[in-house]
Amino acid sequence: MEALSQQALSAEHCILHALQDRNLPIQDLIVHFVNYRKLCQTLIFTDIMRTQQVEERMWTVHTQARKWFSDEYKQLCNQPELKVQRNAFRDLYSKFLRHSTRFYREHVGKLNEAFRFPELRAIALMAVPNMPNAKPRSQQPVNPEWQAAALKSCHRCLICLGDLARYRAADGLEKKQNEPNYGPAIQFYDLASALCPSNGFGHHQQAVVARASGNHLGAVYHLYRSYSVSEPHPQAGSNLKAEFDKIASARRKQELVRKSAPNDLQGPKQAMIGWFVHLHYICFKGREYAPHDELEQEVLSQLSYEVKQRSLDGDLLRMVMVNMAAQFRAIAEFQSKHSFNIFVVNSTDFFDRGSGRGARALFLLVA
């Protein structure tokens, strides 16, 4: 085991050195990754209980390589006279992402082959192309600790697969595509959230996609979901604050709620969503805001109209979930700063402007 760990560490050093050596052919870098992944995978299946440390280290090396590829590719894109070199480099960058994607897909399949329990197999069938849809063979129950470790390993793989798909879309590696296609990335993040609902990483990464797409409601929704689970993403709180700062900036620039043409059927809906996220920004900041009641009534009025028009689709559910998650955060923040216990007793309107926590609440404060 120790010898295998040293081999993996040596392979990792080779990759990191290759990223600094501009004279090394990129094909050699890709070959180094093939060897490194095999060593890491052997380590994982040798001791599944140590998988998190190995997988996180392996993914860190992948992200460092991706950053190198992305930076180099962007530099070439800024030099139109190097079109031939740019296209050749794009193919190699794309090859690196494809090989990485294939590895993580196959790793999910191998986890299923090794442990074979229903939850893991259900995810493997959706994540691994052309996987035979055969019933799992009968076997002894899997050790619960091994099963938990395998589920977490599969969850990490799904997040990595989503990130790889997101990198491909963000850097414009898809030919003949004008807009980034984040659909594949979102599918992997959705699978990760379905596999481990108590883990906030899937929602956090979907918030990254939403921010890149300029979708403020989506970003706030997924960041609140990432924050409000038992295993929140460590950056969910800080990134939620950053998103609200971005919303405030868009409001100051008059980009949050834009005037729409009379024949734009989506215009009123988008305006209402803009006011909604602005209202949540005000509540999140916890500052006195004189026209708060007026803003709240405007949002409710527009929401009532849009609900009657049946034009909200999934956005209504997102807004409801944002309200609930914001209330959860407000209670948690309040309890952390005051010696109060909170009990649900009946419906009452509560707005504590002094502490900066505002929402429609279903609780009573008891000293």
CA-CA distances (angstroms) from residue 196 to 101, 211, 227? 21, 23, 14
Supply the pLDDT for residue 141. Answer: 63
Supply the pLDDT for residue 107. Answer: 94
Residue 333, classified by CB atoms within 10 Å of its CB into exposed (0-12), middle (13-18) or buried (19+), is middle
The model's pLDDT over 214-258, given as tens digits with 9 standing for 90+, comes to 999 999 999 999 999 999 999 999 999 999 999 999 999 988 887
pTM: 0.85
3-state secondary structure 128-153: CCCCCCCCCCCCCCCCHHHHHHHHHH
Identify the weakest region by mean pLDDT among 66-70, 97-101, 115-119, 333-337. 333-337
Supply the pLDDT for residue 167. Answer: 97
Judge whether 49 and 149 are in contact, CB under 8 Å.
yes
The model's pLDDT over 300-351, given as tens digits with 9 standing for 90+, comes to 888 887 777 766 778 888 999 999 999 888 888 877 776 555 444 333 333 3
The pLDDT-based confidence of 140 (bands split at 50, 70, 90) is low
288: its two tokens: 């006195």
Supply the pLDDT for residue 321. Answer: 92
Q: Which of 224, 221, 229, 220 is nearest to 200 (CA)?
A: 229
Supply the pLDDT for residue 329. Answer: 87
Judge whether 292 and 249 are in contact, CB under 8 Å.
no
Domain boundaries, the chain: 2-196, 203-328
The model's pLDDT over 74-111, given as tens digits with 9 standing for 90+, comes to 999 999 899 999 999 999 999 999 999 999 999 999 99
Residue 291 DSSP code: T
Supply the pLDDT for residue 331. Answer: 85
Average pLDDT over the chain, rounded to an integer: 84
Q: Which amino acid is at 40?
A: C
Supply the pLDDT for residue 366. Answer: 33
* 350 bridge partner residues: 359
Share of the chain above pLDDT 70, in %: 86
CATH topology (fold) of 2-196:
1.25.40
Backbone angles phi, psi at 347, to 5 degrees: -85, 130
The pLDDT-based confidence of 364 (bands split at 50, 70, 90) is very low
